Amino acid sequence: MTDGTAWDYKPTVCPTRQVVAFSRSNEGRSVIWVQRLGDGSGRPLVTTGADDRWPTWTADGQSLFFHRLIDDGRAIGMWNRATGEVQELVGADERPRYASFDPAARRIVYASERTGRSNIKILDLSDHVVTALPVGEASFPAWSPAGERIAFCSRRGLAHRWQISTVDVATGEVHDWTSGVVGLRRLHGPLSWSPDGDRLLFKSETEPFAANIYELDLRTGGVSAVTDDSWWDESAAYTPDGAAVVFMSTRGGDWTWGFYRKDLATGEIETLAGPDYVERNNPRLTRDGVLLSTLVAGTSEELYEQCPDGTGRVVAEAGQGVRYPVPSADGRMVLFARTHRTVEYWLAENVWAADSPVADLARPLVARAAGGTPISEQAPLGPVRSPVDTRRR
């Protein structure tokens, strides 16, 4: 019924018309998509900055019930590991989502969703001057170790796919690195520079519910797999010496996250934390061996530091709703995003009203198949086995 680069999932057939509704994501937030059976014509029911999922028709086929995930950035904070002081650098009006330091920790680059699309900006911490980088839709910016470039996920122009790009801070020149590489999908997530500035780590989805870590060589433009299996691996970062990568993964089984370290020379994978059904996210290793991350304690994410001996603590002074911890080069300061997630339940009423954006997709109650049998009178299909291995979901 559907094909192409979009991620289509959770379909529901209208009980009174020959249409199907489902969630569709074009490498970003999902929308409720309504599509006519037969000719494949369709369009979104509503488009917002939220993430709309799991549509369900009411019994009369007139309304659609769905849930909406709203994930707002509230602030970019900075935590001083020596003093415990926490300072807010970017406020909620910018809807900030991610940030990283320049090598000297005198400037930060951050992603702002103030306009409804993600853009990146530079904040000078000495005079608080903000400079927007004219690179189009961009997110997850990461400053290079030498400070001359910023890497980011980009979706520039009319492209639907996210790409890995860099921009020269002095000249503004942008280079897109993955636009000609086939087989990469949904390149949207934290990036990590190698300590020598020659390589970048990123995540790419490979199949439903599976993703691998890849390494981009900025000297040659080549892309190679760091992990290559059927688990979901993401949010990878180089260790401070560049000899290994740390990442989060479901490889522990039963769809729970754990943290792992892979030695790039030997390929050996070591478990750093979990999996233990504690939701952990975005690991980063500092020069003194502390593993920074966030974990869900109760209903909200909090900043967490785990010492080399395995002991750890919640960084209570950072508060709740913390995500994406990124340490400075010397490990003394930590940037983080403060976010707020809510789930709302919506009912789209009178979907087939004359002024509905999908009204023209309505079909008669009874349409006839090629053999002349009314479609509405065909025998039900019965259970259909999924072609995807579901044992690890």
Q: Within this chain, do residues 234 and 360 fall inside the same structural domain, yes or no?
A: no
Whether 269 is covered by a domain: the verdict is no
Whether 345 is covered by a domain: the verdict is no
DSSP state of 368: B
Q: Within this chain, do residues 31 and 82 fall inside the same structural domain, yes or no?
A: no
Whether 322 is covered by a domain: the verdict is yes
User: What distance in Å separates the CA atoms of residue 50 and residue 72, rounded to the nearest whole number?
Assistant: 9
Least confident of 2-6, 33-37, 70-74, 369-373: 369-373
Q: Within this chain, do residues 147 and 110 fall inside the same structural domain, yes or no?
A: yes
CA angle 172, 178, 183 (to 5 degrees): 165
- Distance from the Cα of residue 158 to its chain's centroid: 20
Query: 213-255 pLDDT, tens per residue?
Result: 999 999 999 999 999 998 999 999 999 999 999 999 998 776 7
**What pLDDT does residue 381 have?**
41
Whether 390 is covered by a domain: the verdict is no
In this structure, are residues 90 and 100 in contact, taking their beta carbons and an 8 Å threshold?
A: no
Question: DSSP for 277-297?
Answer: S--EEEEEE-TTS-EEEEEEE
Q: Within this chain, do residues 51 and 173 fall inside the same structural domain, yes or no?
A: no
Mean predicted lDDT score pLDDT of the chain:
88
- Can you give the residue range of the structural domain that contains 134? 71-240+311-340
On the question of pLDDT at 345 being above 90, the answer is yes
Total structural domains in the chain?
2
On the question of pLDDT at 386 being above 60, the answer is no
**What pLDDT does residue 371 have?**
57
Q: Within this chain, do residues 210 and 140 fall inside the same structural domain, yes or no?
A: yes
**What pLDDT does residue 201 have?**
98
User: What distance in Å separates the CA atoms of residue 338 and residue 314, rounded to the nearest whole number?
Assistant: 15
On the question of pLDDT at 168 being above 60, the answer is yes
Whether 304 is covered by a domain: the verdict is no
**What pLDDT does residue 393 have?**
37
On the question of pLDDT at 358 being above 60, the answer is yes
**What pLDDT does residue 27 have?**
73
**What pLDDT does residue 383 have?**
47
CA angle 290, 249, 71 (to 5 degrees): 85
Q: Within this chain, do residues 328 and 222 fall inside the same structural domain, yes or no?
A: yes
| Residue 119 three-state SS | strand
Q: Within this chain, do residues 48 and 185 fall inside the same structural domain, yes or no?
A: no
Query: 92-128 pLDDT, tens per residue?
Result: 999 999 999 999 999 999 999 988 789 999 999 999 9
Whether 367 is covered by a domain: the verdict is yes
Query: 62-102 pLDDT, tens per residue?
Result: 999 999 988 888 999 999 999 999 999 999 999 999 999 99
- For residues 6 and 137, the model is more confident at 137
- What's the burial of 358, exposed, middle or buried (CB within 10 Å: 0-12/13-18/19+)? buried
Residue from 357, 319, 356, 355 nearest 338 by CA: 319
On the question of pLDDT at 194 being above 90, the answer is yes
Cα dist from 301 to 77, 173, 289, 293, 328, whole Å: 14, 37, 22, 10, 21
Mean pLDDT score, 364-373: 52
Mean pLDDT score, 333-345: 92
Q: Within this chain, do residues 335 and 365 fall inside the same structural domain, yes or no?
A: no
Q: What is the CATH number of the domain that holds 211?
A: 2.120.10.30
In this structure, are residues 64 and 57 in contact, taking their beta carbons and an 8 Å threshold?
A: yes
Whether 333 is covered by a domain: the verdict is yes
